[in-house]
Chain A
């Protein structure tokens, strides 16, 4: 079985499990299989190798993350204004339009635009 087939099978199994309705016998077998797989993972040395590989860079990385978090905190702690959200988020424009001080009618009222133009001319 190649990687794509394995992944498809995994998705099908996950969908089936999401639907529920397993018998106690099926649930027990799944639980045993999971335990065996985890035992193999931890006993096989892969866990140890992974832990050893992560341990050395993890300390400076954690320190760097703390320093960055402290430096960035004053900015992120501020409330994002609707206008700021409107510029950076995907649902942005609708959100800004809905909460901003200027009502939606102000953008759609052609008379208002005309009136602004005549004021600007005079």
Chain B
């Protein structure tokens, strides 16, 4: 039994060490250009906790910043932090639904944006009632 526990502990330590090593991988925040640091500023606090793959993904996103319209740039800057603070399952759910959304024809997407605005204009208690109905 002690042997089993010991091996389990070694295994868990190895996983922990692996995770710690991944977070010590470049690219480091200090290595980013000042421009990139400016774009990714909203997630600076979370950078150290990310593995190398996630960091590279954010750099790829940052590299497209100049190609965005001012409105899109604003969207990006205002959503980054909320996005990294979502749980992995919430991020996956949002990705799944965005994938579905991409298959909708552009005119219907536009209609959906308008529906979202309408929904946002509902009184908060009305929205709470709809959510409660959904869980029933």
Cα of A101 to Cα of B122 in the assembled complex, Å:
19
Query: Which of B5-13, B21-29, B77-85 contacts its partner?
Result: B77-85
The stretch among A4-12, A44-52, A113-121 that forms the contact with chain B is A113-121
Name which residue of chain B comes closest to A119, CB basis: B115
Interface stretch of the complex, out of B30-38, B44-52, B93-101: B93-101
Contact of B76 among A91, A98, A107, A119 (CB under 8 A): A98
Binary CB contact string for chain A from 87 to 102 against chain B (1 if under 8 A, 0 otherwise)? 1011101111111111
Majority-rule SS of B interface residues: helix
Do A96 and B119 contact each other (CB < 8 Å), given the known contacts A89-B60, A111-B127, A115-B130?
A: no
Number of A residues, CB within 8 Å of B: 35
Assess A115 versus B60: contact at CB under 8 Å? Given A97-B94, A100-B75, A104-B82. no
Interface residues of chain B, those whose CB is within 8 Å of chain A, are 57, 60-61, 64, 67-68, 71-73, 75-76, 79-80, 82-83, 86, 90-91, 93-95, 97-99, 101-102, 109, 112-113, 115-116, 119, 122, 127-128, 130-131, 133-135
In the complex the two chains form, what is the Cα distance from A97 to B67 in whole Å? Answer: 16
Which residue of A90, A98, A110 has the most chain B CB atoms within 10 A of its CB atom?
A98
B83 touches A98 (CB 8 A): yes
Residue of A nearest to B61 (CB): A95
| Chain B contacts for A102, CB-based, 8 A | 101, 109, 112-113, 116
Assess the B95–A114 pair: CB atoms within 8 A: no
| Chain B positions within 8 Å of A87 at CB level | 102
A35 / chain B contacts, CB cutoff of 8 Å:
none
**Which residue of A107, A110, A114 contacts B94 across the interface (Cβ within 8 Å)?**
A107
A82–B130 CA distance with the chains assembled, in angstroms: 31
Interface pair B94/A104, CB less than 8 Å apart: yes
Is A110 touching B131 in the complex (CB atoms < 8 A)?
A: yes
Residues on A with C-beta less than 8 A from B119 are 109, 111-112, 115
Given A87-B102, A110-B134, A114-B133, A98-B127 contact (CB < 8 Å): no
Given contacts A79-B67, A99-B68, contact A91 B61 (CB under 8 A): yes
CA distance A96 to B113 in the complex (A): 15
Contacts of B102 in A (CB 8 A): 83, 86-87, 96
